[in-house]
Amino acid sequence: MTTGYRDEDLEILRQRLEMRERQIDAVHRVSAALFSKGDLDSILRETLHVGLEVMGAPVGSILLYDKDRRRLIFRYVVGKSALIGLEIDPEEDINGKAATAFRTGKSLLTINTRTESYNARFDRAMGFHTESIMTIPLKIMGGETIGVMQALNKAGSEFSEDDQELMEIVGSLAATSIMNFRLAEEAKLAAVARAMGDLGHDIKNSLTPVETTVSTTLDAFVFPLFEDIENIDLNESASVEECHERVLSLMEPLREWIPEMQQAMADGCGDIREMVSEIADYIKGAQATNMQRRDIGLVIQEKLRRLRVVAQNRRVTLHIEGLTEAPCFPFDSRLVGRAISNLIHNALNAIKDAVMKGELDFRREGYNIWLKLSTNQEGEFPVGNYCLLEVQDDGPGIPDVVLESLFTPHTISTTIGGTGIGTRFIKSVADSHGGEVGVVSERGKGARFWLKLPLEQEITIR
């Protein structure tokens, strides 16, 4: 009985099957290698080693294109490591296979360098002889070429079209992985940039009480004291003891103010020191949400102590309600404390800005900010089992165009010097706690911001 196949046909089928098995094996190995690596150098190393091994080639390299320098740069090399860091100008290197493959986006098979032209510059520099070359462009989705992979001097035979097909598969996986790595790094940098913006905004907020305290100390105490002392008439019949008592009396208001000034300065500097430390954590990638069971009322009181001088200076009265009613529950006191500061600062700045613009009438009696804390320990979050923090003011209210953008990446600010970073940060704090945030406002009738946090969280200390 015959099968209808000739021996030659069976041999061709066997070779194709073997080739497919090599391709599948290469895909599995490259995929496993690429997706288990966390840095670009490891990705390049594993890609090249696997590619050369399945090709049976002892020497090879990966070159990546640097858009700023407009050069192909040897990033990883097997067999000629001295090439690492050397550059090729793909526009000027007319005979070079790597440059040609990069320019055209097409693979090149150089079976024999004795009969086919190639750029021998690197051979001469390295004391090496290239006999055959397979050059594969590394292309990402959309067709953009980001680099080149080469295999040299296949052992025992010549490079074939099957080898080229296999190497193109490896190159495609490598290009995708390299691009994904770059996008991930860009996303990390963008996240760090956003974090730096948040921290820079809050550092500026933390400087405000310090600046206000210094200004109040000078304007309300130091300068008047100097003036009063200068006005003491030493020619009067008063005795030295009486002059001494007079000076002590003049100094008494400043003496009473100093402890509050010291506390405000220490609080502001402490906040700034903490946020500078956070910058280092962000850069190292170590920043994390730190959930610990705390008394949120104490955290709020601490933040309000820092802001009372600023509020008084702007003729704003802070009204506090419910700070002792909330149970201790897990939250990140650092992040929630900064969110509280942002909410109060936003209200203070909105009132100040509206008065300066003439959008809010000057009130002799001043303005108000109400901070209310309440809890619902029944049911499930978000309907129940929550702690609710509300900050309301009797300022100008929020324009509709701004209201629609709040808590989004495209937040708009209409206050002088405003960036919208504060409200974006508050949203990020709510998200990191699995909570919710919102605002209700009507033009001319102030605004009410609220932050709702679940009372049940996994306690983490990182």
Tens of pLDDT, residues 420-445 = 456 777 888 898 899 999 999 888 88
Q: Bigger pLDDT: 199 or 247? A: 247
Cα distances (Å, whole numbers) of residue 210 to 207, 258, 270, 309, 348: 5, 13, 11, 9, 16
The predicted pLDDT at position 416 comes to 45
Q: What is the rounded average pLDDT of the residues 189-211?
A: 66
State the span(s) of the chain assigned CATH 3.30.565.10: 288-462
Q: Are 457 and 439 in contact (CB under 8 A)?
A: no
Provide the whole-model pTM.
0.47
* Homologous superfamily, domain 288-462: Histidine kinase-like ATPase, C-terminal domain (3.30.565.10)
The predicted pLDDT at position 368 comes to 93
Digit-coded pLDDT (tens) for 337-353: 888 888 888 888 888 88
**pLDDT confidence bin for 462, thresholds 50/70/90:** very low
Tokens at 368, concatenated: 């108000």
How is 166-218 classified by DSSP, letter by letter?
HHHHHHHHHHHHHHHHHHHHHHHHHHHHHHHHHHHHHHHHHHHHHHHHHHHII
Burial (0-12, 13-18, 19+ Cβ within 10 Å), 132:
buried
Digit-coded pLDDT (tens) for 44-54: 787 788 788 87
Q: Bigger pLDDT: 180 or 278? A: 180
CATH number for the domain running over 15-185 = 3.30.450.40
In sequence order, the 6+-apart residues with CB closer than 8 A to the CB of 278 are 195, 199, 287, 334
Average pLDDT of every residue of the chain = 79
**pLDDT confidence bin for 3, thresholds 50/70/90:** low
Tokens at 358, concatenated: 């003439």
Digit-coded pLDDT (tens) for 397-415: 888 877 877 877 655 555 5
Report how far apart the first and last C-alpha atoms of the chain are (Å, whole number): 74
